[in-house]
Amino acid sequence: MTTATQPRRAAPAPPPRPKKTTQARTRRREAIALVMPSLIPILVLSVAPLVIGIVLAFTDTRLVRHPDFGFAGIDNFVRLGGNSLFWDSLRIGLIWTVGVTVLQLAAAMGLALLLNSGLKLQGLTRVLALIPWAMPPVVVAIMWQMIYSANGGPLNAFLGSIGLPDGINWLGDFNTALPAVIVVGVWVGMPQTTVTLLAGLQQIPTELHEAAAVDGAGAWRRFTAVTWPSMRPIVSSITSLNFIWNFNSFSLVYVLTAGGPGGKTMVPVLFVYLEAFKNREIGYAAAMGLVLVIVVVALLAIYLRSQFRGDRPERGR
Amino acid sequence: MRWSVRPAQYLALVLYLLFLGFPLLWLISASVKSSAELNSLSVNLIPSEWHWDNYGEALSRQGLLHSAFNSLLVALASTVLAILISVPAAYVLARLKGKLRIAGVTWILVSQVFPVVLVILPLFLVLRTLGLADSLVGLTLVHTTYILPFALWMLQGYVAAIPVDLEEAGAMDGATRFTVLRTIVFPLLAPGVVATAMFSFVSSWNEFFFALVLLQSPENYTLPITLTMFIGGEGKVALGPLAAGAVLAAIPSIAFFSLLRKKLTGGLMAGAVKG
């Protein structure tokens, strides 16, 4: 572990600085000079689109040659209320997001604990663990299409060889498509989570475990009493990030199933994309996108609140 | 650890390795199988005969090489832009306390919450007005936007790891801040910048969604888009060349990440694990 991995706690109070010295003023000016060249592109490239995106949600903009930005008030949102397909996709999106996030965490925690218990094959596992995360999503999707293939795919061949039904069209069957896509999501996201958790595990002082062992705690008791509590901040931050990324992930599902069969894997970002670029309803799609943002933020708030019961999260002031 | 636990642990580890590694092995195996073997329903991980023609065919098909070149251009340009913009900003973000820092961190987090599909709408409208929608220049700008938060996040972690004392020592000797930056901070930051640049490059190289929305003309396609064009209708897929193309597309990312494993996790961790 390099020093870069040390969690940075709130810095100790700085020594009282003499106020309004020329030195302080130069410091400010230097800081502004440093930040200016980067602030303008950041504002233009990322803050502006966010703001305009929100504004678009209240217009009836369509994707035609010369769009006119007509103010539409909350019409889009009213219309959205009656759009059952959108709410269906939101439900599917939540199953996808929660499923992938929870399974990712469970699988990654298992692997991180294994690696932390000093087994051999560490190097191999670490390389293998980062590869899924590094690969282009399109390639991942192509790869898993081959694995799941109904004619001659290795998964069906394996199931057949142990006497189970082997003609399943995993990505094309109404009942198996969503679970199959979730497994791919876990495959992609697990490695990065494993690496993060492993770094956290390695920061737990071994004395704690030894003390617990001396007190006669078994492996499970040591996990619940020592490992889990020390890992909680890391778990909640990585889970929050994974939740956001999974909810917003597009490419994997788009290439794997394009939302099919029969809309069974139509995650909301896919739905919004089709609304904007196939139905050409930019304003309406922006309203949907805004609803997605609100849903994610609300769910995150609920999750983080449950994590920090009693102890208030650090507030930068 | 009692010894009886070990075999079970190794079994679990092997299962993990299979889950993580098998799909990749299967892809590589499919890329060197003959079409006859791919179409016969035999399932062998090791091909009966190694058949390298798929690679040649993939490279000659549908301008795969041309789109790889497009990907390369866009990835290089957006990486350079993102690094130039984020190095000074990351320094300030890591070193200065107060409103600016809070604003910066908040923006990084907020930018993650917004789905790209919402952000692309205004970008698309603006780019179309400028006549840049279906162009590599437009895609480069969008990729820069997409990479910025990650680059900033990683870099500020690397800056935070450089002890402030070093800078203060420099300042004691009467050097101006910019001299201190040039002679002390940047040399120490260089490895972090390299890691961030590689991460940025791979992010752009792999990126699919923005390319899908923006690029209309086949001569502008990037590699991921061209690959999806390989996937024809059901049953019309030339599996061998598709697998070969997919392997080629994955090579840069896998190479970079294998090289930079330690550095990268360090940088991402510095941002990710905040007590």
Decide if B252 contacts A135 (C-beta within 8 A): no
Please tell me the least confidently modeled range out of A187-191, B60-64, B170-174, B258-262.
B258-262
What is the average pLDDT across B1-19?
A: 78
Which pTM was predicted?
A: 0.84
Closest by Cα among B96, B108, B88 to B148: B108
Please tell me the least confidently modeled range out of A246-250, B102-106, B159-163, B270-274.
B270-274
What is the average pLDDT across B111-140?
A: 89
Set of chain A residues whose Cβ sits within 8 Å of the Cβ of B275 = 7-9, 233, 314
What is the average pLDDT across B136-161?
A: 89
Contact A248 B17 (CB under 8 A): no
pLDDT for position B78: 96
Asked if the model's pLDDT at residue B272 lies above 50, the reply is no
Asked if the model's pLDDT at residue B77 lies above 90, the reply is yes
Q: What is the DSSP string of A293-311?
A: HHHHHHHHHHHHHHHTSSS
Q: What is the DSSP string of A55-121?
A: HHTTB----SSS----B-TTHHHHHHHT-HHHHHHHHHHHHHHHHHHHHHHHHHHHHHHHHHTT-S-
- C-alpha pair distances (Å), A230 with each of A6, A222, A224, A236: 14, 11, 10, 11
Asked if the model's pLDDT at residue B151 lies above 60, the reply is yes
Beta carbons within 8 Å of B164's beta carbon, 6+ residues apart: B95
User: Looking at chain A, which residue has its C-alpha nearest residue B161?
Assistant: A4
Closest by Cα among A241, A201, A246, A232 to A313: A232
How big, in percent rounded to 5, are the helix, strand and coil portions of chain A? 70, 0, 30
Q: Percent of chain B beyond pLDDT 70?
A: 86
Residues paired with residue A59 on neighbouring β-strands, in sequence order: A71
Q: How far is CA B181 from the centre of its chain?
A: 28
Nearest to B269 among A52, A199, A233 (CB): A199
- Residue of B27, B83, B121 to mutate, testing the A interface (most A Cβ within 10 Å of its Cβ): B121
Nearest to A147 among B26, B41, B102 (CB): B26
pLDDT for position B40: 66
Confidence band, pLDDT 50/70/90 cuts, at residue B118: confident
Contact A128 B177 (CB under 8 A): no
Between B253 and B49, the more confident residue is: B253
Provide φ and ψ at A27, rounded to 5°.
-55, -45
Contact B224 A237 (CB under 8 A): no
Asked if the model's pLDDT at residue B252 lies above 90, the reply is no
- Residue of B15, B20, B27 to mutate, testing the A interface (most A Cβ within 10 Å of its Cβ): B20
What is the average pLDDT across B49-64?
A: 78
Contact A233 B23 (CB under 8 A): no
Set of chain B residues whose Cβ sits within 8 Å of the Cβ of A296 = 113
From first to last of the 317 residues of chain A, give the pLDDT tens digit: 444 444 444 445 555 555 556 777 777 777 777 777 777 777 777 778 888 888 999 988 887 766 667 787 888 999 989 899 999 999 999 999 999 999 999 999 999 988 888 777 777 777 776 778 788 999 999 999 988 988 778 888 888 888 787 778 888 888 899 999 999 999 998 888 888 898 888 888 888 888 888 888 888 888 888 888 888 888 988 898 899 999 999 999 999 998 878 889 999 999 999 999 999 999 999 999 999 999 998 998 888 888 776 554 444 43
Asked if the model's pLDDT at residue B116 lies above 80, the reply is yes
Nearest to B246 among A117, A142, A237 (CB): A142
Hey, which residues 130-149 in chain B have their CB within 8 Å of chain A? 141, 144-145, 148-149
Over the stretch B83-100, which tens digit does the pLDDT of each residue have?
998 888 888 888 877 676
pLDDT for position A252: 93
Between B100 and B14, the more confident residue is: B14
Q: How far is CA B108 from the centre of its chain?
A: 18
Residue B274: CA atoms inside 13 Å, Cβ hemisphere, count? 17
Q: Where are the beta strands (DSSP E) in chain A?
A: none
Decide if B204 contacts B128 (C-beta within 8 A): no
pLDDT for position B262: 58
pLDDT for position A292: 93
Contact B85 A152 (CB under 8 A): no
